[in-house]
Amino acid sequence: MSAQGTAATGQVEHMLRQVTPGRFDAYEALLRALADPAGGRVWMLLWHGQPGSPDVRYGAMEVEGLGYVPCVTSAQELAVSGWNRAHDVTPAVEVARSLYPERLGIWLNPHAPGGGVGIPWPDLRRIATGLDRMPAGPLRLSEPAVEIPQFYALLTQHAHRTPAVRSLRRAWVQPSVGVAYLAVGLDLYDGSPASVDAARAMMRQAVAAVPEGLPVSTVALSDDYDPVALWMRAASRPFYDREAHVGAPAAPGYGYPQPGSAPR
């Protein structure tokens, strides 16, 4: 390994030692060290097969209902662990890309005093796709309490004029590191570039009604790996639903006959 790679490995192990319960800032620093393209390597423990073979299988462990693949952070830790099967030294970014779609995380140095540190699959996804693109977990998610009726009214109007949009949902997201923000969930009829561009234009038109200083983000409800989208789909109701709107009967009033009345 090059001197640069050795330094990056040392940074991973240094940040790993800083992680303690409640130290989300240290945990985020560990994720940044793992995501470092100049290093951030991990020693994957192979339960079966050799590096590069088609039948290779990682070890496996489960903690609190979540699956993890055990690994170590250096050749020294590998020696201390007592692992006597094959291993594969791999950039953590590549490991993250291969594991998070299977909803598997990695567990660093499970042999170490205290049991090591687990990186669950949502954080592997952040490593794979960019740490700044998704909020730092664990997340606190709830219905928004902030009152911004003008924004919701304007967004609903623009959504109704945007045929690509099926429905909209919302959530208040409090990351473990960073400021809380309002998330708008976009349920589109399809994920084509034209539909995505139309939804972005809709948001740009409505965001002018957001009070200054209130962060707003969007999330695709079709994303099966986004924790905010998963929460919205399971725990919230649409504040705009095109199909419900179209199917609703017209309210009685001027221009509409009252129920049971005959035309004159």
CATH number (domain holding residue 24): 3.40.1350.90
Mark whether 152 and 218 lie in a shared domain: yes
Tally Cβ neighbours within 10 Å of residue 134: 20
Whether 85 is covered by a domain: the verdict is: yes
Query: Of the candidates 83, 110, 133, which is a domain's last residue?
Result: 133
Q: Tell me the Cα Rg of the chain.
A: 24
* pLDDT tens profile 109-163: 999 999 999 999 999 999 999 999 899 989 999 999 999 999 999 999 999 999 9
Report the distance separating Cα 245 and Cα 119, nearest Å: 43
Whether 260 is covered by a domain: the verdict is: no
Whether 263 is covered by a domain: the verdict is: no
Query: Does the pLDDT value for residue 261 go beyond 70?
Result: no
Mark whether 62 and 96 lie in a shared domain: yes
> pTM for the complete prediction?
0.82
Total domains present in the chain: 2
- 66 against 246, higher pLDDT: 66
Average pLDDT, the chain: 89
The CA-based angle 90-61-29, given to 5 degrees, is 50
Mark whether 159 and 236 lie in a shared domain: yes
What CATH number does residue 146 fall under?
Answer: 3.30.300
Whether 262 is covered by a domain: the verdict is: no
Q: What is the pLDDT of residue 9?
A: 57
Whether 261 is covered by a domain: the verdict is: no
Mark whether 120 and 31 lie in a shared domain: yes
Mark whether 15 and 124 lie in a shared domain: yes
Whether 70 is covered by a domain: the verdict is: yes
* Span 75-82, average pLDDT: 95
Mark whether 151 and 120 lie in a shared domain: no
* pLDDT tens profile 220-233: 999 999 999 999 99
Mark whether 167 and 117 lie in a shared domain: no
Mark whether 104 and 121 lie in a shared domain: yes
**For tokens 């995501």, what's the residue?**
35
Query: Does the pLDDT value for residue 75 go beyond 90?
Result: yes
Mark whether 38 and 100 lie in a shared domain: yes
Q: How confident is the model at residue 247 (pLDDT cuts 50, 70, 90)?
A: low
* Span 80-96, average pLDDT: 95
* pLDDT tens profile 189-217: 999 999 999 999 999 999 999 999 999 99
Mark whether 14 and 126 lie in a shared domain: yes
Percent pLDDT > 90 in the chain is: 81
Q: What are phi and psi of 73, to 5 degrees?
A: -105, 0
Q: How far, in Å, are 52, 111, 145 from residue 89 at the CA level?
A: 11, 18, 47
Mark whether 22 and 81 lie in a shared domain: yes
Mark whether 165 and 226 lie in a shared domain: yes
* Span 11-18, average pLDDT: 93
Q: What is the pLDDT of residue 54?
A: 86
What is the domain range of residue 26? 3-133
**Pairing of β 57-58 and β 41-48:** antiparallel
Percent pLDDT > 70 in the chain is: 89
